[in-house]
Structure 1
Amino acid sequence: MANSETGTSPNNVLGGEYQVFLSFRGPDTRRSFTDILHHALVDVGIRVFIDNEELRKGERISGNLLRAIDHSKLYIPIFSKNYASSYWCLSELAKMVKNTSQSKENGKDKAILPIFYNVKPDDVKLKTPLYREAILNLKQKMENHEKKFSSKDINTWQQALIEVGGFTGWELEKYPG
């Protein structure tokens, strides 16, 4: 994996290769909020996984992303308008929920700290049309055999959204800038 210089070693005090894993929909936030957050975290010495810096050309994306999630202590999903339209984002979120649940069982606490970027927790909890319609579009792509995921995957993603949408997080629209 590529290495972002942060002044910390891979075996940091939090017990993993990365202290933070950022999950976000690139077209929505990469060149704005996510970039600013990433640089702010790195500037204070936090080892952050971000896909465009940590994945080298020619590497298998899925395996490296899943390993990065496994080797992170904190997860920060940045929920934006189009987050739920990406099966990659949803797969990352489901993996974060699974790891967080398993970490409680084995005494190695991991945490999810959601950020709601121009969306509300109710959108993420599938209580409004925004993410519900995105999931319906993914179901349609699955049924049309355009994508290689299953109805089990979709159910897992929905449960992960509902669960994490219920976490206390930061609703950015409440903090006018």
Structure 2
Amino acid sequence: MASARTQKASSSMSRCSYQVSLSCSCKDTGRTFTDHLYAALVRAGIHTFRADDELEGEEDTESKFQQATEESRISIIIFSKDYASLERCLGELLIILERRKTVGHKVLPIFYKVDPSEVGKRTGSFAEAFATHEEKFMAATDERKKEWMKKLERWRTALREVAKLRGMVLQNQADG
């Protein structure tokens, strides 16, 4: 008898409309590495969801990204210097890791010109991004501030978790 998790995973796989979902900051990888990766996946016949393409100008991008991730077999997260500066990216990370926990969704982190320890320990550009988020959130009302601080802690936990996963470290290659 299959476990509930196995049944849930297999039923979700049967309705996959994407094979891969990409999470990235296209501010610093969009016209280089991410475009090359996306084009290579498409040329290989892999139906790929990329939020910047699919959700441009859309409302409620978080729920649409969640749906695309649920309909994907694997998520590729491209960590770059700007990744943590975007709340959208950190929200996508939470969605991906939740799916990983609940149904065993496959996750491949790519550390593009950043070290996994920089991601997990939030040093360098990741520390700067979190300082900016925290400063912004501290200006909120007390109730909103509590909500934001919980979100910050969830993001920190997610970054520590994903930095421990096996992935690809592309620090010294031109455009990966």
Q: 1:144 aligns with which of 129, 139, 147?
A: 139
Partners of 2:90 and 2:59 in 1: CA distance: 21
Partner of 2:152: 154
Change (3 A) 1:172 1:14: farther
Partners of 2:130 and 2:56 in 1: CA distance: 30
1:45-64 equivalences in 2 (<5 Å): 45-55=45-55, 57-64=57-64
Partner of 1:34: 34
1:135 paired with 2:130, answer yes
Change (3 A) 1:56 1:130: closer
Partner of 1:76: 76
Partners of 1:14 and 1:174 in 2: CA distance: 39
Partners of 1:139 and 1:34 in 2: CA distance: 28
> Mind listing any 5+ residue stretches in structure 2 that lack a counterpart?
1-12
> Match for 2:96: what amino acid?
M
> Match for 2:140: what amino acid?
H
Query: Is residue 117–residue 172 contact of structure 1 (8 Å, CA) maintained in 2?
Result: yes
Once the two structures are overlaid, the 10-residue window that deviates more, 112-121 or 44-53, is 44-53
Partners of 1:87 and 1:79 in 2: CA distance: 13
Q: What do residues 113-137 of structure 1 show as CA deviations (whole Å, max 9, x unaligned)?
A: 0101110001111253331221121
Between Structure 1 and Structure 2, which shows a larger proportion of helix residues?
A: 2
Query: Is residue 113–residue 172 contact of structure 2 (8 Å, CA) maintained in 1?
Result: no
Partner of 1:4: none
SS of the equivalent of 2:73 reads: strand
Change (3 A) 1:135 1:14: farther
Deviation at 1:175, TM superposition (A): 4.4
Once the two structures are overlaid, the 10-residue window that deviates more, 74-83 or 62-71, is 62-71
Change (3 A) 1:119 1:65: same
Query: Is residue 15–residue 73 contact of structure 1 (8 Å, CA) maintained in 2?
Result: no
Change (3 A) 1:14 1:36: farther
TM-score by length of 1: 0.81
Partners of 2:28 and 2:93 in 1: CA distance: 17
Identity of aligned residues (%): 36
Partner of 2:109: 114
Query: Is residue 14–residue 73 contact of structure 1 (8 Å, CA) maintained in 2?
Result: no
Once the two structures are overlaid, the 10-residue window that deviates more, 114-123 or 58-67, is 58-67
Query: Is residue 77–residue 114 contact of structure 1 (8 Å, CA) maintained in 2?
Result: yes
Give me the CA root mean square deviation: 2.5
Partners of 2:82 and 2:31 in 1: CA distance: 15
> Match for 2:130: what amino acid?
I
